[in-house]
Structure 1
Amino acid sequence: MLVLTVLIPLLGFLNQAAAQAVDAWHLDTMYTLITERLDPIINPNGVSSHAHRILGGSNFGANYNYNLYDSSSCSSAAVQADNSNYWMPQLFWKETNGTFTPLKAGTRFYYFLARNKPDIPVKAFPPGLRMVIGNPNAKDSSSTNLPAPAQGFICLKDHFSSPTGDKAGPDFNFATDCPQGLTTTIKFPPCWDGVNLYKPDGSHMAFTDNLQYGSCPVSHPIRLPAIMLEYVWQTYNLRPGVPLKGNLVWANGDTTGYGLHADFVNGWDTAVLNQALNDPNCVGKGEMTMTACPVLAQHMNNAAALACRPARGVLETIQDGVALPSLPGCNIPWSSGNKPTCSPPVSNPGLPSGLTGQDGSLTYTGSDYPLPSLTSYPANKWSRVGCQGGQNSLLNVIQYTDAALTPARCQTYCSEWGMQFSALISGSYCQCGTGLDPAAFMYPDAHCKQPCSGASGFTCGGNGKLELFYNPSSTTVNHPGVTDPQHVGCRKEGNGGRALAASYISYDPMTIEWCKNYCIAQKQPLAGLEFGRVCMCGPSFANGGGVPQPQSYCNAPCSGNSKQICGGPAATLSVYNLTLPGGPGTSSAVTSAITSTKSSTNAPSASGGTFTVTKTVTVTAACTAGRKKRSLRHFDFLH
């Protein structure tokens, strides 16, 4: 049956895409294959808890494996190279007599084709991929398990005369009728982890930093087409002029609308899809119909799509416009709290054997989707990895500001502190880390074009974006020019208070040995020197102090021995851990400011997810024999 598909401007969603000149395909000739209680992802080889309106390949059934679906004889999508299946729950009108009428719907989908980087094309869906998006039990926006823009409801009020009259809402309960229909849209995440074809929690897929247009996270580096599935429910045909509020219910009984969800199983001819994704006549031209792509146009057959029917059998018959005494299955309308149960229980129809079969693998084992890897980077050399970003892009970050920053200066700093990742940001900041946060995002190089503060001919990242370098050999802490084994580096003074706050003294003939002995007398395990003549002690770093700095920032000669260094002139400390071997110690335990939490993420190695270097240093030493304490006068202390 041919049903009307309304071509809708997708309000801010498409305006956002247009502003970024994102490539997109849309298929407007797509028909319902069947409406029944099957869901091969959630209920494999069983009857689903509620009815779905299913689109796509004729081999749809209660199980899913790619080879079976790919070999469908037809698809209800006009592009016959796509034997995938797509579905949303069926929407019903609640009649005043207590019955429920299935609504007709026009359907279509969008594929948004934004890339991680301009030179890396979007890849075809891997064979065997499944996706479920949304929460059927959601009762408000906070429980949908989706970013807010991923779920949409539009009441087509005056679409044909003035599309700006269309109204968007948070759910389907519009306090008005929708003369041109009710549109429900849902957006699928486009970033794949490259390993898992399905995980029940959906973690094998991820959204970009900008829903479907931005960049993929490091943990999910493979960019796939971003599906937006759209159903236009023909409320105007069934109850023209009647407001929607309080009259609609999803197939699972949800009356709030927030239970909108959708599924996808891949049945594409991946060779055809990959050819289209790499054809300059099909990409790089902004938004276009699939028919406008020469590769896909060869596979268009609207008559075949319109005539396509399920090939493996039918579970039940649910006809549009024909009222039912109850929602199929155990689905009592509800708007809050736990889903109601049925008493007596509702029995399911028998499942025809033709609809069952073996499910496909949940893990991808092919070689067409290689994951980025760091194994190819040479040893003892800093190699550029790319432009990265995110709230916490590196693991175990240390950072300093440098008015003369260059890539080499930053790399020297990171090498000193034994960190494998060196990153430049905003022109004058240097960061080091032991690995990449899996939630960091991969950006095109155009985001990392800010000149370095110390060399305009070099770029030092961007605003919130890191120009990232990697050296697999940078794993050993080595402070240049320092041989004292108790030295734990040049560190930053505290913010608004001392970094070592237990005791503090300014002493004109200051030396490193004097300061160490002073802190031993104070029974403190850490000793710090600054300004050439100041010594401070403490059990640990305080007031945000102790952040590692380049050794060159501690360059003030000690006032009592000009051949020694006692911190720096700009609030930097030369710090000594008195419990480490090589000098007198105390019984206090000290933990270095550089700590590492070993990553357990499944992020690919290119992202630093599995090779975190542990740098926690905790050393306990026994107290030495009693020492004669130096008698200090009041003016020895500065308060």
Structure 2
Amino acid sequence: MKLLLYNILLSLALPATSTFVVQCYSRLFDHRADPVVSPGVPSAHVHTISGGNGFNFSMTYEQARASRCSTCNIKQDLSNYWSPKLYFHAKNGSFISVPIVGDNEGGNMGGMAIYYLTRSGPDNDKLIAFPPGFRMLAGDPNKRVATDDFAGRAVSHKCVGGENPSAPDETKNLPTQKCDQIRVQVTFPSCWDGENTDSVNHKSHVSYPKDGNFDGGRCPATHPKHLVTLFYEVYYDTSTFRGEWDSSNKQPFVFANGDATGYGYHGDFVNGWPTALLQTALSTCIDGTPTCSTTVFGSFRTQAETQACKLPSLIAEPVSGVLSSLPGCNPVTYGPEPAVVVQNCAIPQILEPGTEQAAGFTDVRSLGWRYMGCAKDDAGRRTLDVEQISGNDMTVEKCIEFCKSKNIQYAGLEYSGECYCGDSVAEERKPVEGEWGNCVMKCSGNATQVCGGPGAISLYQACGSGGSLRIAKSSR
């Protein structure tokens, strides 16, 4: 239901002058990572990150293009898009992660909509595709006061289903009334210097227009090349917190960077498009032509495919649920002075890629078994269909011991509490090399373990069978 609502909201919000929309139905993870601002190390605050699974602490254009999957629907787009995560600051001082519309207990995750707007300005400039290696930042994480420049107008918030119908529809600050959803949005600069794909502050190589509108004016002489205008939009489901405001009725939501005003909302972009294809889209798509994206891009990823694209944790720290403080030493600030970065903040443990801890699976080699990966499953035709058990005390070890007692060589866990056993895995169901899959649900009997997900099964295999068994990986 929430995913359907998400799609309805996207269609209602679509500007009439948009060329096309990259619909990121899901996200890779919520993580303290930002290869633009903090390459190679954990970032200062948590982001919700969508796009290609080539994403990492540090990444190149080539690594983005090497992504094996994406949480977004246009297959040729392997870019990454991210913005700060929203939390509810509870009366007891704790911080509770606010779900994005589309999140549900079944393991599905909501994402964001990325509008590619053809705003060529009054001179009808030719729009230029992002070059390889291009990246940029929009917004200022430390900003805590409203400004009326184009950069200030580019960040806004909309209260959906608000309690006060006479309140402004859209504000620069986080809404001060109770809302069913809060739509957060940021528009990126669309004028480029034509030379640099990045800059020291990740902003100087681009610029907002010098006049007209912040999302469609005339480019300055210093940045004469006109880019397509990127517009990010994320819907947060704030309805469940309506009754949790304290007696002061002070706006209780705060972004991961400690921003309780909303003025410090921001977004990052790393280009992963094939240049020629994006240029074709920008040159041939005409505003108000809904079939353009179909004729140019051809096929699209399904929602199920985007949901199955996930990444394992890169650092050992909780960022969701109920937290005693915001990850990354970010005190809540209300301005008007800019936020100050806390020095000497402890750096969490960086997980080694490919380890059990990083991948979210359990090391069961002591039982004579090994993890194969996150495989596909279908309730109508099970991947493992010989034996099964279920319960609210399910653990990886319990499932393996059950299958082992039946002398069955494959064990799989799904939907937190379901265990399946089988003698073989069909080729088309095997884990895909380079993809972590949608195994995101915690085991009902051990919240530190992962027990599959929707349409996804955490697959384990018995070892030491004279070489007749092998880790099932696809060459795709």
Q: TM-score, normalised by structure 1?
A: 0.48
| Separation in 1, partners of 2:243, 2:23 | 24
1:296 CA drift (Å): 2.1
| Mapped contact 2:123–2:218 kept (Cα < 8 A) | no
SS of match in other structure, 1:131: strand
The alignment status of 1:45 with 2:40, answered yes or no, reads yes
Partner of 1:293: 294
Deviations along 1:507-533, one digit per CA (max 9) or x if unpaired, are xxxxxxxxxxxxxxxxxxxxxxxxxxx
> What is the number of equivalent residue pairs in this alignment?
335
Q: In the alignment, is residue 71 of structure 1 matched against residue 102 of structure 2?
A: no
Match in the other structure for 2:273? 268
C-alpha separation in 1, matches of 2:125 and 2:334? 45
Aligned to 2:86: 91
- 1:131 is aligned, of 123, 136, 145, to 136
* 1:205 partner amino acid: V
**2:184 alignment counterpart:** 184
Larger Rg: 1
Q: Per the alignment, do residues 146 and 215 of structure 1 end up closer, same or farther by CA in structure 2, a change over 3 Å counting?
A: closer
Equivalent positions of 1:77-156 (< 5 A) are: 77-106=72-101, 107-115=112-120, 121-142=126-147, 146-156=150-160
Tell me which amino acid in the other structure corresponds to 2:304.
A
State how far apart, in whole Å, the 2-side matches of 1:33 and 1:2 are. 19
| Separation in structure 1 between the aligned mates of residue 18 and residue 27 of structure 2, nearest angstrom | 26
Question: Which position in structure 2 is the counterpart of 1:194?
Answer: 194
Q: Which of the numbers 206, 215, 220 marks the counterpart of 1:217?
A: 220
**1:79-122 CA distance string (max 9 Å, x none):** 12111111111111001111101111242111111235888642
- TM-superposed CA distance for 1:251, in Å, is 0.8
1:383-442 Cα distance to aligned partner (Å, 9 max, x none)? xxxxxxxxxxxxxxxxxxxxxxxxxxxxxxxxxxxxxxxxxxxxxxxxxxxxxxxxxxxx
1:582-597 mapped onto 2 (5 Å cutoff): none
Q: Within 2, Cα distance between the matches of 1:163 and 1:294?
A: 41
- Superposition pairs for residues 219-618 of structure 1, below 5 Å? 219-239=222-242, 245-279=250-284, 283-286=285-288, 288=290, 292-310=293-311, 314-316=314-316, 318=318, 320=320, 322-336=321-335, 337=337, 339=339, 346-352=345-351, 354=353
Please give the alpha-carbon distance, in whole angstroms, between the structure 2 residues aligned to 1:303 and 1:225: 29
CA spacing shift, 1:266–1:240, aligned 2, 3 Å: farther
- Say if 1:193 and 1:204, in contact at 8 Å, map to a contact too: yes
Aligned residue identity for 1:207 = Y
C-alpha displacement at 1:258, in angstroms? 1.1
- Equivalent AA in structure 1 for residue 136 of structure 2: M
Structure 2, unmatched stretches of 5+, are 102-111, 355-476
Secondary structure, in 3 states, of the residue corresponding to 2:306?
helix
Contact 1:134 1:146 in 2 (8 A): no
CA–CA distance in structure 2, aligned partners of residues 338 and 203 of structure 1:
20
SS, match of residue 307 in structure 2: helix
Partner of 1:147, secondary structure, is: helix
Give per-residue Cα distances to partners, 1:144-174, cap 9 Å, x unaligned.
Answer: 9753321111101269xx9998721221142
Which structure is higher in RCO with an 8 Å CA cutoff and minimum separation 6? 2
| Residues in 2 aligned to 1:295 and 1:118: alpha-carbon distance in whole angstroms | 26
The answer for the alignment partner of 2:170 in structure 1 is 168
The more displaced of 221-230 and 210-219 is 210-219
In 1, distance between residues paired with 2:47 and 2:13?
24
> Could you tell me whether the CA contact under 8 Å between 1:122 and 1:277 is conserved in 2?
yes
CA contact 1:134–1:261 (8 Å) conserved in 2: yes
Q: Distance in 1 between matches of 2:113 and 2:237?
A: 14
Structure 1: gaps spanning 5 or more residues: 356-639
Matched to 2:272, the amino acid is G
User: What is the root-mean-square deviation in Å for CA atoms of aligned residues?
Assistant: 3.2
* Conservation of the 8 A alpha-carbon contact between 2:28 and 2:50: yes
Give 3-state SS (helix, strand or coil) of 2:10's partner. coil
Cα distance change, pair 287–10 in 1 and its aligned pair in 2 (3 A): farther
